[in-house]
Amino acid sequence: MMLAIKAVNKVFNAGQASETVALKDINFTLESDEFVSIIGPSGCGKSTLLRVVGDLVRPTTGDVLVGGKSAEQARLDHDYSMVFQAPVLLEWRKVLANVMLPLEIYKLDKTERTARARSLLKMVEIDGFENHYPWQLSGGMQQRVAIARALATQPQLLLMDEPFGALDEMTRERMNDQLHNIWRQTDTTVLFVTHSIAEAVFLSTKIIIMSARPGQIMHVVDVDLPLPRDSQTRESVRFFEIGREVREWLRRAEE
């Protein structure tokens, strides 16, 4: 089991007038190689939950285990990486240097880190732009660099917080196609936050639907679309059936 979340609750400003219950009694597991999306109304705690898994926010109560380790130990052991809504690239470092940054921090041999970074840039289909600065790239290209950087340490678990939310629809579809292929090539387990039903259905093996705040798990949809997925997947009857199921549960979440 790659991830186990057990009875997690998160309360901000506990005991104060501004007390906010963000997460309530969250329980779920991820097996290795799964791609699981979290979807729900705005403000339901999706990103908070991702940050709890990533040890950026501590739960008020409950446990998070990554590969059998505490979230803190998994962070210290570099067992996961995170991709945020914005690429968060260093503007003064070229593309190749941005991807190599975590490998420099972990003191990997220069020849090996350069080779790995170039291989990852090829995987995300941005080879040829190694010597460009981030500000010279489009938003979609920058996010591909961020994904390559996140994969540089070969994490067991990849946490992604609405990484394509700022992109136009067609670019977002292309990025979904690329992420799907990357997931299949790397066998990385992915926990993915999104507002897009179509994105969740296309990418996921499982979709977790959360209620409005306080965020609770209302329903889990098993996505039984065949692999690999492509443009024809989006036109299949089953794709629309699953999308309709997710949409109906989201309506209930907002009631």
For residue range 167-188, list pLDDT tens digits in order.
888 889 999 999 999 999 998 9
Confidence of residue 253 (pLDDT cuts 50, 70, 90): confident
Q: Tell which residue, 25, 26, 22, has the closest CA to residue 10.
A: 22
Mean pLDDT of the chain: 94
- In which band, very low, low, confident or very high, does the pLDDT at 1 lie, cut at 50, 70 and 90? confident
DSSP state of 137: S
- DSSP-based three-state secondary structure for 110: helix
pLDDT for 8: 97
pTM (2 d.p.)? 0.94
State pLDDT tens for residues 49-67.
999 999 999 999 999 999 9
What is the distance between the alpha carbons of residues 37 and 178, in angstroms, rounded to a whole number?
A: 16
CATH class of 1-12+23-79+156-242+250-255: alpha beta
Beta bridge partners of 4: 29, 65
Q: Average pLDDT, stretch 71-99?
A: 94
Which residues are 48's β-sheet partners? none
Nearest CA among 95, 107, 79 for reference residue 191: 79
User: Mean pLDDT throughout 124-144?
Assistant: 94
Report the share of the chain in percent with pLDDT over 70: 100
Report d(CA 186, CA 123) in Å as an integer: 10
Q: Which pLDDT score is estimated for 14? A: 86
Both tokens of 47, joined, read 């990103």
Domain ranges in the chain are 1-12+23-79+156-242+250-255, 82-154
**Measured distance CA(129)–CA(197) in Å, rounded:** 32
Q: How confident is the model at residue 3 (pLDDT cuts 50, 70, 90)?
A: very high
Q: What residue spans of the chain are helical by DSSP H?
A: 46-53, 71-76, 95-105, 110-123, 139-151, 169-186, 197-203, 237-253
